[in-house]
């Protein structure tokens, strides 16, 4: 549960920085509560839709050597904006793709800072050790 809350905060920070950098993405009420709600909804959309979209578009991801994932991230950001139109506004799909790229970079950096990548590796190592027993 704590990891999920940290990811919501990371998403909120990512959305705040992305809206600050890109002129095509706007957070209507730029306060902490709004950013946390958008971060929560973005996390839920990522958890539910991303695996389905990756499975359905697997040939496109393979052919483009993974670059199609950037389009999927933009689509997920656009879906988030559609779910909370009074809080997050994106001008067009191009800004959504660029915003997805910026959010991915920010998320990668913050996961490293908070040690989420490190924990994931330790969890996988423990699973492999248990399987050996």
For the chain, what are the domain ranges? 2-132
State pLDDT tens for residues 18-38.
Answer: 999 999 999 998 889 999 999
Q: What is the pLDDT of residues 36-89, one digit of tens each?
A: 999 999 999 999 999 999 999 999 999 999 999 999 999 999 999 999 999 999
pTM to 2 decimal places: 0.83
| Cα angle for residues 74, 4, 88 (degrees, 5° grid) | 35
Residues 34-37: contacts with CB under 8 Å, at least 24 apart: 34/87, 36/8, 36/9, 36/12, 37/84, 37/87
Dihedral class, residue 65 (left if φ above 0, else alpha if ψ from -120 to 50, else beta) = left
């Amino acid at each position: 549960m704590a990891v999920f809350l940290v990811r919501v905060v990371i998403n909120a920070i990512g959305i705040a920085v992305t809206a600050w950098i890109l002129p095509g993405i706007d957070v209507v009420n730029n306060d902490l509560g709004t950013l946390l709600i958008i971060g929560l909804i973005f996390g839920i959309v990522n958890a539910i839709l991303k695996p389905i979209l990756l499975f359905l578009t697997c040939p496109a991801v393979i052919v483009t050597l993974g670059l199609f994932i950037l389009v999927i991230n933009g689509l997920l950001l656009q879906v988030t904006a559609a779910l909370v139109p009074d809080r997050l506004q994106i001008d067009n799909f191009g800004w959504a793709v660029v915003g997805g790229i910026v959010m991915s970079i920010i998320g990668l950096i913050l996961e490293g800072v908070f040690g989420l990548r490190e924990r994931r590796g330790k969890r996988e190592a423990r699973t492999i050790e248990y399987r050996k027993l």
